[in-house]
Amino acid sequence: MIGWPQGPGQPGWRHRLGAEPQAWALWIDDSSRGARTLRPESPARIIGTPAAAGTACRIRPGRRGVQTNSGRSGRAPAPHGFDRLPQRTYVFRLLGMGLGALCIAAVLRENGASPLVWSLCAFTGLVWPHLALLVARSSASPYRAELRNLLLDSAQTGFWVAMMQFNLLPSVLLFTLVTVDKISTGIPRLWLWSLPVFAAGLLLGGLATGFAVRPDTSTTVMLVALPMLLIHSIAVSLASNRMVQQIRQKNRLLDELSRTDSLTGLHVRRHWQALADRALHLRQTEGIPATLLLLDIDHFKAANDRHGHAVGDDVLRAVAEAIRAGLRESDDAGRYGGDEFGIVLHATPPGDARLVAEAIRREIRRIGVAEMGDSRITASIGMAPAHGGHDSLEQWIEEADAALYRAKRGGRDRIES
Ligand SMILES: Nc1nc2c(ncn2[C@@H]2O[C@H](COP(=O)(O)OP(=O)(O)OP(=O)(O)O)[C@@H](O)[C@H]2O)c(=O)[nH]1
């Protein structure tokens, strides 16, 4: 028996899932609510359909699908990004095999084929795409079933190349398209695995025809082959284009997430520092004034200890909101550390900066947190205008930090520069 992880923070919770089929999963919700996502810092993700609330499962590849400790079974997971592989492939198979079968039929007509060969051709063009989808959908592991289907595509193509007696144009076209299909799935090396399978199909077809070779392509066959080339190529390009757009969109989202502090919605320290660095550079090269504020909540540890971490988080969110309220669109605020915030006031001389800092300080005093009763939240602010003597961002921040220290020493709830 296995020691099942029981919840977030328990051993096993952060195990990586998805790409590796031999992974541990923990279903943390019931099917009415769907699987909750894991905490952002975790590289793991929940996959598949939740079997039961709080049910831990070992994902096993193979026909039996997912084994759970409650003895139920579900679907084996696909690697990340391949959940809809059978559906995606279906459209291309329908097009490729359908148009390919037309091409094959044109050659078979010229070569004269038996009813059995004609019915095999009809199977490839009309039945196989639907059958493949059906098989994949009803399989315990649709992803693996689809991999088999893709290889069977190659086997059939090899078979038909031999059955067409190596008629040059359709043979080359069919081989190219079936290989492009493999490459466009994005599954590493799939097209390479498909080569021996293609060769096996070729061998089978060759044995059936006695390896007859008639490479000449008639104009009729050429005309029938062209739509296959045209339509299939455009369809693959459109799908690739759609994928590129989706990746771009996800990259933008990831970029945004990596720059934003999840608790306060302000910039994370690294991104804020980059913005502050740019402001200092503008001051040194173009003389555009900028002022830096470092703000630290007063006695935050005591508030945290007295009212709990969750209330502490509420305070951090409320302070971030107060900072946002006091700033202009052009200013940049970030979470510098636990209860410390950094603010860059762009194109702002010291006099104006003090007014902004004062407005923020007052706004923070107005914050009311129900759990804290009458206790007021206050903050101390250190202010440092950029000047020619600052050789680096570190120096600028140190100056603001020293001012913040003076504000704390001076009794807190004040601004020092
Ligand atoms: N709730 C919560 N607390 C945090 C977070 N990050 C840091 N802290 C706490 O913030 C507190 C920071 O306290 P300090 O800045 O050292 O001290 P302080 O009590 O604010 O005192 P002064 O700064 O001298 O006024 C520590 O207790 C940290 O545990 C967080 O994300 N959420």
Residue having the nearest C-alpha atom to atom 7 of ligand 1: 338
Residue 339 CA to ligand 1 center (angstroms) comes to: 5
Nearest residue (by CA) to ligand 1, atom 6, is 338
Strands 56-59 and 332-335 turn out to be unpaired
Whether residues 73 and 111 share a domain: the answer is no
Residue nearest to atom 29 of ligand 1 (CA): 301
Q: Is residue 65 part of a domain?
A: yes
Domain boundary among 77, 104, 124: 77
More confident residue, 346 or 76: 346
Best mutation site among 266, 269, 304, 311 for ligand 1 pocket (most ligand atoms within 8 Å of CB):
304
Residue 191 in tokens: 């097209």
Give 344's pLDDT tier (boundaries 50, 70, 90).
very high
Atom index in ligand 1 nearest the CA of residue 313 equals 1
Both 197 and 160 in one domain: the answer is yes
| Structural domain total, the chain | 3
Model confidence over 14-69: pLDDT tens digits? Answer: 333 333 333 334 333 333 333 333 333 333 333 333 333 333 443 333 333 333 43
The angle formed by the CA atoms of residues 129, 130 and 133, to the nearest 5 degrees, is 90
> What is the whole-number distance in angstroms between the Cα of residue 6 and the centre of ligand 1?
30
Look at ligand 1, atom 14, and give the residue with the nearest C-alpha.
301
Residue with CA at minimum distance from ligand 1 atom 8: 338
Residue 301 forms part of a structural domain: yes
Ligand 1 mutation target, pool 294, 300, 413, most atoms within 8 A of CB: 300
Q: Which pLDDT score is estimated for 75?
A: 64
Determine which residue's CA is closest to atom 4 belonging to ligand 1.
Answer: 338
Torsion angle defined by CA atoms of residues 379, 382, 385 and 389, in that order, rounded to the nearest 10 degrees: -160
**284 inside domain:** yes
Residue 252 lies in a domain: no
Q: Which of 151, 118, 157 is nearest to 132 (CA)?
A: 151
ipTM of the complex: 0.96
User: Quick one: 372 and 331 in the same domain?
Assistant: yes
How many Å lie between the centroid of ligand 1 and the Cα of residue 294? 15
d(CA 115, CA 281): 80
List the CATH number of the domain containing 307. Answer: 3.30.70.270
What is the chain's alpha carbon radius of gyration, rounded to the nearest angstrom? 33
Q: Which residue, judged by its Cα, is nearest atom 27 of ligand 1? A: 301
Predicted local confidence at residue 186, as pLDDT: 84
Same domain, 237 and 376: no
What is the position in ligand 1's atom list of the atom closest to the CA of 299? Answer: 19
Q: Last residue of a domain, which of 201, 217, 247?
A: 247
Q: Give me ligand 1 centre to Cα 320, in Å.
A: 14
**Same-domain pairing of 55 and 100:** no
**Residue among 294, 311, 339, 340 to mutate when testing ligand 1 (max atoms within 8 A of CB):** 339
**Whole-number average pLDDT of the chain:** 83
Give the per-residue pLDDT at 74.
57
Specify whether 101 is located in the same domain as 240: yes
Residue 156 · residue 201 · CB < 8 Å: yes
CB-defined site of ligand 1, < 6 Å: 263, 296-302, 304, 309, 312-313, 316, 338-339, 408
Read off the pLDDT of residues 196-249 as tens digits, 9 standing for 90 and up: 999 999 999 999 999 999 999 999 999 999 988 888 889 888 988 988 999 999
Residue holding tokens 């090899």? 158
Here the tokens at position 227 are 């739509």
Per the domain annotation, does 264 fall within a domain? no
Q: Domain check: are 139 and 224 in the same one?
A: yes
Nearest-CA residue for atom 5 of ligand 1:
338
Cα of 359 vs centre of ligand 1, distance in Å, is 23
Atom from ligand 1 closest to the CA of residue 296? 23
State pLDDT tens for residues 129-166. 999 999 999 998 899 999 999 999 999 999 999 999 99
Whether 151 and 240 share a structural domain: yes
Ligand 1 nearest atom to the CA of residue 312, by list position: 1
198 shares a domain with 344: no
How far does the chain reach from its first CA to its final CA, in angstroms? 64
Assess if residue 239 is contained within a domain.
yes
Which of 108-139 are b and which e, b meaning 16 or more Cβ less than 10 Å from the residue's Cβ? bebeebeeebeebbeebbeebbeebbebbeeb
Same domain, residue pair 190 and 238 = yes
pTM of the model: 0.61
Q: Are residues 103 and 134 in the same domain?
A: yes
Is 262 inside a domain boundary?
no
- The answer on 132 and 64 residing in a single domain is no
Q: Give the CA distances from residue 254 to residues 40, 82, 104, 131, 245, in Å, rounded to whole numbers and listed in that order.
A: 12, 20, 47, 38, 14
Structural domain of 166: 85-247
Looking at the CA of residue 298, tell me the nearest atom of ligand 1: 25
Rounded to whole angstroms, the Cα distance separating 399 from 384 reads: 6
Residue 259 lies in a domain: no
Angle of helix 142-163 relative to helix 190-209, nearest 10 degrees, comes to 40
- The rounded Å distance from CA 69 to ligand 1 centre is 42
pLDDT for the residue numbered 23: 38
Q: Which of 16, 45, 77 is the last residue of a domain?
A: 77
